[in-house]
Structure 1
C-alpha cells in the first residue's frame, strides 16, 4: 500500500494528491459542485459506505475545502459547503472531466456542462463554445449527454 504522504518529494502535485488524490474524495468534491450538501444526500448520490463518507467529509473540512454549516439544532445536523479553496478546484475538476470525455467516453460524454446564460457548452479552455465568455461553477449546469445511462439501469 502506498503511503498517504510524500514527505520526500518537494512537489506541489504530490502535496495536492495527499489531499485530493483519492477516488472517493474527488467524487465527494464533484458531488458538492453538483449542489449536494447533506450527508444523507452524499451517501445516496455516491453509494459509498457511510464511515468512508464521514472520513472524507471530515478530511475535506480539516483541509478547508468544505465547511460544516449547521442547518438544524435538534437533532444537530450539518450541511457541507465548498469554501473558496474548494471552489478553486473547479478548473481542475473540469479539466479531468474533459480528459475523461476525450479518452473514456465511448458513447459520448455522460454529461454536457452547459452555460446557463446561452445554452452553449464548456470548452477545454473553460469558456462557452457559443458566446465565448469565461465560465465558472456558478455559470454552468450539467445536462445529460449522449453517453448518459438512463435511470434504472
Structure 2
C-alpha cells in the first residue's frame, strides 16, 4: 500500500508490539524482563519480538550461550520510532489518564520536565492538523487503501 501510515501500522499496530517497544525504550531488553513486565503469553511475546526483528526495529543478541539467552536491542530504525511512542504517551496522558500521567518525562539536556509535541523541522512550530497541507510525494499512487486519497498522493488529474 502506498501509505507510510499503513506500512508502519502493519509492523506495530497491535498493543503487544507497541508495549514491547515501550519497554525496550525504558531499558528492559531480556525476554524474561519483558515477559514479567507485560504479563503476555510467552508465544505471543516471542512472535512480537520475531516480527520486530524481521522488520529491522530490533536485533537479537546472545548474552548467554548455555542455554542460549538473548537480549533485544533497538536498531537505528527502532530508535527512530521513539517519537511515535512519545506521541502515543502524550495523547494518552492528555485524553485517558484521569488520575494523572503514569510517567513523567524529564529532558536530560535542559533538566526540565517535558511533554512531547510534534514540531515543524524547519521553523520549530508545533504542528496541528488544521495547519498542515498534504502535497503529492514521489512514492504516492492510487491503490487499495488509498482509493479516495489518491489525489493527495499523486496530484490532481494524475493517472492512478
| Range of TM-score over shorter length | 0.7 to 0.9
Q: Deviations over 1:33-92 (max 9, x none)?
A: 010111010000100000000000011001110001111111111100000000000011
TM (normalized to structure 2)? 0.70
Answering whether residue 87 of structure 2 is matched by residue 95 of structure 1, we say yes
Partners in 2 of 1:122 and 1:109 — Cα distance? 12
Answering whether residue 112 of structure 2 is matched by residue 120 of structure 1, we say yes
Q: Deviations over 1:119-141 (max 9, x none)?
A: 411233379xxxxxxxxxxxxxx
* The one of 60, 70, 92 aligned to 1:68: 60
Answering whether residue 41 of structure 2 is matched by residue 41 of structure 1, we say no
Change in 2 beyond 3 A, CA 1:126/1:13: closer
> Helix, strand or coil for the counterpart of 1:111?
coil
Q: CA RMSD in A?
A: 1.6
4+ residue runs over 4 A deviation: none
> Number of matched residues?
119
| Greater RCO, CA 8 A, separation 6+ | 2
> Helix, strand or coil for the counterpart of 2:63?
strand
Runs (5+) with no aligned partner, structure 2: 120-160
Partners in 1 of 2:26 and 2:114 — Cα distance? 15
Structure number with bigger Rg: 2
* The one of 37, 42, 47 aligned to 1:50: 42
